[in-house]
Amino acid sequence: MKRLCVFAHWDKDNYADDYVLYYLNSLKDICSTIIFVSDCERLSNIEDVSKIVDYTIVEKHNEYDFGSYKRGFLFAKENNLEFDELLFVNDSCYGPFYPLKSIFDKMSKKKCDYWGLSRNNYGLKKDKRCYIPVRSPHVQSYFILFKPEVFNSTVFEEFIKGITHEKDKELIINKYEIGLSHLLETSGFKSAVYINRYSHTDNCLQYKWKKLIKKYHFPFLKTNIPKNGIYMIGEIKDWDETIASMSDYPVEMIYKNADRLKQTEDDRLSKMNFYRKIRFRILNNTPVEFKRYVIFMEKALFSFFNFFCFNKLKKF
């Protein structure tokens, strides 16, 4: 099995951190070829990366992860690289805490055309001047694999070639992460996910991260948990103990990266739109034990207004 991995990277200091190098080394166990694409002007330790991967592309394109996926995929096509499966991965996770081979062995038995590790059932949709949460199931793009039926199809290639710079994160998620799943599903391709549990929740990687790691041996932790404490559900104080109790993963790499890139509250607010700023203020002043109830009521409220006032939920 020839498996090609396109790894999307970005770092504000133009650096591939130790956790990224660890991740790349782990991918060598399941991938025959790795193309590392960095959305940076340069990479200060490119030699360290080049020792691990097969190809490196370092150029500032401002198209985020999907822009890197595009460049890696087109590079493979232009250079006639042979592969039986295509894996898109980005650097938004720490790990893996467990060997990835067992996941691939399990997923190889699934009858599907593409698969990921998890599914998010909600997205943000623009309504007049703000984004509101709507039900929009999609395979999350931080780790997603495509079989030949997909990556050799015209719809997939046209989608990849159509990736351009977008002005905000919500547009990127709607157009590319959610958009890709919807395009493939409407084109007749079938998806699967490694974690089928918590299908009723929003993003299980944020709300169920501890149970995923401890009970289901999920191999990753999203980087925004140690960095930002995910303000939505309260400060995370024991992620390091959780990982150490289940794996020999060197948590020192997480400390190093999180300390260097940890955001202040002002940093986070500066990148938010008006709706997110209000949401942040409300949730940040809500006791931890009530945060999930507030989020549940928020979604229920938006669903009510969508259905009875805007009549926009029929398509879902």
| CB proximity list for 30: less than 8 A, separation 6 or greater | 3, 100, 101, 104
Of 281 and 216, the one with more pLDDT? 216
Whole-Å CA distances, 70 to 5, 34, 155, 213:
12, 14, 14, 31
Q: What is the Cα–Cα distance from 97 to 78, expressed in whole angstroms?
A: 34
* pLDDT-based confidence at residue 280 (cuts at 50, 70, 90): low
* pLDDT-based confidence at residue 292 (cuts at 50, 70, 90): low
Instruction: Please tell me the predicted confidence (pLDDT) of residue 266.
Output: 52
Instruction: Please tell me the predicted confidence (pLDDT) of residue 225.
Output: 85
Q: What is the Cα–Cα distance from 117 to 215, expressed in whole angstroms?
A: 15
Q: What is the Cα–Cα distance from 121 to 131, expressed in whole angstroms?
A: 16
Span 226-247, mean pLDDT?
74
Taking the CA of residue 290 as centre, how many other CA atoms within 13 Å lie in the half-sphere pointing to its CB?
Answer: 7
- pTM, entire model: 0.82
Q: What is the Cα–Cα distance from 75 to 230, expressed in whole angstroms?
A: 36
Q: What is the Cα–Cα distance from 211 to 190, expressed in whole angstroms?
A: 27
Fold for 3-310, please state it.
Spore Coat Polysaccharide Biosynthesis Protein SpsA; Chain A (3.90.550)
- The residue ranges of every structural domain in the chain are 3-310
Which amino acid, residue 45? N
Question: Looking at 134-148, 169-183, 206-220, 285-299, which range is the least confident one?
Answer: 285-299
For 90, the 3-state DSSP assignment is strand
Q: What is the pLDDT of residues 168-177, one digit of tens each?
A: 777 788 888 9
Span 229-234, mean pLDDT?
48
Rounded to the nearest integer, the mean pLDDT of the chain is 84
Residue 69 has pLDDT above 70, yes or no: yes
Query: Is the distance from CB of 201 to CB of 140 less than 8 angstroms?
Result: no
107: buried, middle or exposed (CB in 10 Å: 19+, 13-18, 0-12)? middle
Instruction: Please tell me the predicted confidence (pLDDT) of residue 270.
Output: 58
Of 145 and 305, the one with more pLDDT? 145
Instruction: Please tell me the predicted confidence (pLDDT) of residue 166.
Output: 84
Query: Of the segments 197-211, 222-236, 266-280, 290-304, which one has the largest average pLDDT value?
Result: 197-211
Q: What is the Cα–Cα distance from 14 to 56, expressed in whole angstroms?
A: 14
Query: Is the distance from CB of 160 to CB of 70 less than 8 angstroms?
Result: yes
Q: What is the Cα–Cα distance from 271 to 263, expressed in whole angstroms?
A: 11
